[in-house]
Structure 1
Amino acid sequence: MTFEIVFVFILLIAAFILFATDYVSFDVAAMILLFSLLVSGILTFEEGFSGISHPATVAIASMFVLSEGLRRTGILNKAGDYFSERLQENFYFWMFVMMLFISAMSAIMNNTAVVVIFIPILIGVASKIGVSASKLLMPVSFAAIMGGISTLIGTSTNLLVASIADEREVASFGMFDFAPIGIVLLIAGYLFLFLFGFKMLPSRRSEKKEELTKDYELEGYLTDVVIEPNCTLVGNTFDKDRLTEQFDLDVLRIIKSDGSRSAQRSKVQIEAGDILRIRGNPADLNKLLLKKGFSPVVAKDWEDVDLEQGRDALIEAVVTPDSPLDGSTLDSIDFYERYGAIPLAVRQKGEIKKDDLKKMKISGGDTLLLSLSSDRIQEVEKGSAFIVASKLGVMDKRSDKTFIALGILLSVVIVAALELLPIAISAGSGVILMILTGCITTEEAYEAINWKIIILLAGVIPLGLAMDKTGAATLMAETLIDSLSDFGPHAMLAGFYLLTMLMSAIMSTNASAALVAPLAIQIADSIGVNPEPFLISVSYAASLTFLTPFGHHANTLVFGAGQYKFTDFTKLGLPINIIFWIIATLLIPIVWPF
């Protein structure tokens, strides 16, 4: 075993550990792997940076933009409004129709973008029909994921595996080659969800319109404080640092003696009789009240309406997996200056946290309860950092561009399906047309791309190349063949599906596919069979990940919004994954013979 092979094996182990833990974000982990390969001399400069120019990387980045261009026309919002009304008439029938629509849309656009639209819609309709939103959100996420596997562009994993196969000249997958088995898996998934799944789902969110102050257990964390004439703040412009540096406190509003309110705290001169509406740790609130010049207003039972007077607003915002907040603290990004919002509480991995929020490390899927002025809501919603989990409808929509955007996206699909152009070129051309026709601005296009995914691909694709170049893939393949050769290719296929499925549950779907696909090709070559069934199994297994909320971005989004626990995904996802494993293992060799 050469030094190069040993080094690559060490990197593979490091990759698994880094991707499976939160020690560093997965894009940083990918860069560690890439530059380790470059510094060691295993890869040349051109080989090392082949990932960023790889057809899969270009195609995936383009699909992010095309999906966002269509989303900004408001077509999904209109569909959501339609289903919102119908769900109140015949829940199960229209839930089925809505999920079919979501699956169909996910087959031609980024499935996470579809889920983003339907989260606030479903939370809103749940309270109207007396159903917990947690009964709706996970099935919608699963429907989007299942729909995405039916086409080449429906999921980034399909694009990645197809590009790796094409690059190595072992297979060529067309636009609808994934559909035959993908549709069978979709039907099986729907049958399980409607026969058993809805009964297995918990009722985490209230079935009635929620009082967010109660839901986030803010009792004791909110108080109104009157400024007495002898207070040291009187006559001075408000300085939040004088309070926040000493205590875990935030001033939400300054209510003047004439009843006017101010969110522009830094410009307000404090006067005797002013009221400071404060969120903070109860112990720190008590310490503040012991200081001269501060006296409490009579305690009351806080309700949402108390924080929604005038222009004040109270919203839930789910942190997206590609949010600039992911991995940062609120303090480090100057949260208030950027969004004009003050966090009252954070729901993180099922737990409500209210203390030392500024120092808390925020992750994708976390839900923030925010107090802000209503005229700042659009700033929170329009970017890629959050999904506002209430149906506000403030995003600018370009409804006049609907048919143009839809036409461009369908043209990309048709051109790729007819193999007139490679998908990377047709999708990239579609992006240019979207920008030129005004469906999306250049700034929105850049913001639409999940750059963490792009950096991930830039790092893991060269690692797959290093596995081939050093012979590590050959050695791994020979070891697996020696262990499973007595069981035949069907057993190897089943084992490969299971391996990829488990890896995707704890790593990103793209990372697991990029690492396993080269190994699949090598095994097929070593035993002298067609590599297509192995590659297809890798693609399905990596994409169809339901075991955890972190394997797929769509699951991460509904994890926070639906107030699920980690085990909720395992409870429902495990039987679905087992069913898919059995079906795929039986059908793949029929459609793609060995």
Structure 2
Amino acid sequence: MSWELIVVLALTVLAVVLFVSEALRIDLVALLVMALLMVTGILTPEEGLRGFSNSATITIAAMFVLSEALRQTGLVRLLGDKLSQLFKQSYKKAMSAMMGGVGVLSAFINNTGVVAIFLPIMTGASRDARISATKVLMPLSFAAMFAGVCTLIGTSTNILVSSIMDDHGMAPIGMFEMAPLGLVFFGVGVVYMLTVGDRLMPERESDESLTESFEVAPFLTEIEIMPTAQSAYVACGKAKLCESQDIDILEVFRDGTSLGSPDPDLVFEPGDILRIRGSAEAIRDIERNVNLKIRPELELSDTELEAEESSLIEAVVAPDSVIDGKSLNEIDFAEQFTAYVLAIRREGELLHDNLLDEKLEAGDVLLLQTPTDKIAQLQRHSAFLVVSELGLPEYHREMLIPALIIVAAVVLTAAFELLPIVVSAVCGAVLLVVARIVSVKDAYEAINWQVIFLLAGILSLGVALEKTGGVDLIAEFITGTLGNWGPTAILAGFYVATTLLTSIMSNQATAILLAPVAIDAANALGLDPRPFALAITFAASASFITPIGYQTNTLVYGAGQYKFADFIKVGSPLTFIFAAIAVWLLPVFWPM
């Protein structure tokens, strides 16, 4: 075994450990591995940077722009409004229509974007119909995942594996090649969620207001500035009260008029009423201060916290966003977003104390108080997904038909092999910008650059494993271990391994690492590698066991008030059913 192979295998193990532990951002891990491979000389600069020009990377970037165009036209929102009305008539019919609609959209546009738009709509619809959100949001996420394996462009993983197959001299995946098994997955998945899944899903009723739901009343109060207070006649930026790390001043009232949240130049005057959020200890300290008059009988509700100038909203921390893994202090949250965090819901638990030092996690639901005119700013920011159904952004309905024509042209030219998918996707993205359906700024912002850098970086590891013989070594180990059980056992082994890895780390990284191994293993046994590569493709998007295995699950995790165990309870049987179907039907549709 050469030293190069030892280094590459060590880097592979290191990458997997870092992906699972999330000690570093996944894109940073990928770039770190890429840099180390070039520094050690195992890869040349051309080989190390090849991932940035890989057809899969370019195609996925273009598909983000296509998805953004359809989002801006309001197509998804239009379907969501229709479903919202249906929920008031029949729960089963509405759920069937919702999963069907989400499925059709997710087969052709980014499923994370579909779920992000449907989430506030379905939350509001369930509330209006007095149906628990826990009964609606998990099926929403799962339906988007079911449909992602029906077409080549359903998920970025499909495009990625197709590129790997092309690199290995195989025909790339056709636009609708995955549809036979994908539609079986979709049909079985929908039936499961409407029957068994519906019984297994929790039903956590909540007619409470946001302040009641987040239990923030004990941490909110109002104080009056007395004439002898140290903060009287002092600007907020210099007042000792404003320096406290445990207190947020949400709003200032003077002579019955709201002055909004204070800026540093606002001078406090005797008689000013300050509405604050603070830790229990900080509020007790205020109670002991004779120069600050507190209103102990006050119990603030949504009505008091929401006025013409301010609103209460729920917002989910987006996976892999700029605030994921950062504390409120680190990002100067109140200053950057003009919003105060009143409470955090994480994995079914509520956090109130020491919020400034609490590191945010993907899926956290934040209860925010923000000026009403700043809500649109929060909705546009990629760090959040605003769950509250209010102040929804404007859509460009007049651009719906042109956008649909361009997206349809991309799909059809690729489906009939008139153009390679990378060419049709790039041309479609450029046309959308030239036609002013999407602005240049929106196009750049629509691309999930973390995914792009993750793919470009981790593809270099795949190249290194191929170059040093690592892929052959791993393939020999797997075939030697499972070979006596026959080809079906090996196929099942790859499917299960992919599903388990996808439950704890990026599905794209899993596919990059395992697809070449599966192809080499099949070739070594004299089998057609196509069903093995497709087993990796299907399994990478069919792990329902954890809320962290797929971005759409992470989005609904906190918003639906789910617990980790809920996904294990509902998702484990479904994952097992899909695995059994895949091992049975993959050799039928793609003979070995």
Whether the 8 Å CA contact 1:326–1:362 is kept in 2: the answer is: yes
SS of 1:266's partner is coil
Partner AA of 2:581 in structure 1: I
Whether the 8 Å CA contact 2:221–2:299 is kept in 1: the answer is: no
TM-score under structure 2 length normalisation: 0.98
Q: Matches of 1:137 and 1:25 in 2, distance apart?
A: 27
Once the two structures are TM-superposed, the CA of residue 126 in structure 1 deviates from its matched residue by 1.0
The CA deviation string for residues 484-518 of structure 1, in whole angstroms up to 9 with x for no partner, is 11111111001110000000000111010010011
Once the two structures are TM-superposed, the CA of residue 436 in structure 1 deviates from its matched residue by 1.3
Q: Matches of 1:44 and 1:241 in 2, distance apart?
A: 58
The CA deviation string for residues 308-358 of structure 1, in whole angstroms up to 9 with x for no partner, is 123221000011114221122222222222221000111123221112222
Partner AA of 2:31 in structure 1: M
Whether the 8 Å CA contact 1:240–1:251 is kept in 2: the answer is: no
Q: Matches of 1:585 and 1:353 in 2, distance apart?
A: 44
CA RMSD of superposed structures (Å): 1.4
Q: Matches of 1:164 and 1:381 in 2, distance apart?
A: 36
Whether the 8 Å CA contact 1:254–1:265 is kept in 2: the answer is: no
Q: Matches of 1:473 and 1:314 in 2, distance apart?
A: 53
1:526 counterpart = 2:524 = yes
Whether the 8 Å CA contact 2:150–2:179 is kept in 1: the answer is: yes
Once the two structures are TM-superposed, the CA of residue 5 in structure 1 deviates from its matched residue by 1.4
Moved more, 352-361 or 404-413: 352-361
Q: How many residues align?
A: 592
Whether the 8 Å CA contact 1:322–1:450 is kept in 2: the answer is: no
Partner AA of 1:107 in structure 2: A
Q: Where does 1:117-156 land on structure 2 (aligned, <5 Å)? A: 117-156=117-156
Q: Matches of 2:261 and 2:326 in 1, distance apart?
A: 25
Q: Which runs of 5+ in 1 are unaligned?
A: none
Moved more, 239-248 or 157-166: 239-248
The CA deviation string for residues 195-254 of structure 1, in whole angstroms up to 9 with x for no partner, is 111111112351x3x311111111220010000011122222222773354341100001
* Aligned equivalent of 2:427: 429
Q: Matches of 1:403 and 1:9 in 2, distance apart?
A: 50
Partner AA of 2:16 in structure 1: F
Q: Matches of 1:460 and 1:511 in 2, distance apart?
A: 7
* Aligned equivalent of 2:159: 159
| Structure 1 residue ranges, 4+ long, deviating more than 4 angstroms after superposition | none
Once the two structures are TM-superposed, the CA of residue 477 in structure 1 deviates from its matched residue by 0.9
Q: Where does 1:77-226 land on structure 2 (aligned, <5 Å)? A: 77-204=77-204, 206=206, 208=207, 210-226=208-224
Once the two structures are TM-superposed, the CA of residue 63 in structure 1 deviates from its matched residue by 0.9
* Aligned equivalent of 1:234: 232
Q: Where does 1:175-574 land on structure 2 (aligned, <5 Å)? A: 175-204=175-204, 206=206, 208=207, 210-239=208-237, 242-574=240-572
Q: Matches of 2:300 and 2:204 in 1, distance apart?
A: 22
* Aligned equivalent of 1:590: 588
Q: Which runs of 5+ in 2 are unaligned?
A: none
SS of 1:343's partner is strand
Q: Matches of 1:240 and 1:64 in 2, distance apart?
A: 46
Q: 1:578 aligns with which of 552, 566, 576?
A: 576
Q: Matches of 1:338 and 1:420 in 2, distance apart?
A: 48
**Cα distance change, pair 265–292 in 1 and its aligned pair in 2 (3 A):** farther
Partner AA of 1:80 in structure 2: G
Q: Matches of 1:272 and 1:32 in 2, distance apart?
A: 57
Q: Matches of 1:247 and 1:45 in 2, distance apart?
A: 48
Once the two structures are TM-superposed, the CA of residue 264 in structure 1 deviates from its matched residue by 4.1
TM-score under structure 1 length normalisation: 0.97
* Aligned equivalent of 1:8: 8
The CA deviation string for residues 74-97 of structure 1, in whole angstroms up to 9 with x for no partner, is 111111111101111111012101
Partner AA of 1:338 in structure 2: Q
Q: Matches of 1:347 and 1:50 in 2, distance apart?
A: 42
Partner AA of 1:276 in structure 2: L
Instruction: Report percent identity of matched pairs.
Output: 42
Q: Matches of 2:62 and 2:366 in 1, distance apart?
A: 30
Q: Matches of 2:457 and 2:78 in 1, distance apart?
A: 39
* Aligned equivalent of 1:37: 37
Q: Matches of 2:415 and 2:239 in 1, distance apart?
A: 59
**Cα distance change, pair 235–245 in 1 and its aligned pair in 2 (3 A):** closer
Moved more, 237-246 or 370-379: 237-246
Q: Matches of 2:238 and 2:402 in 1, distance apart?
A: 49
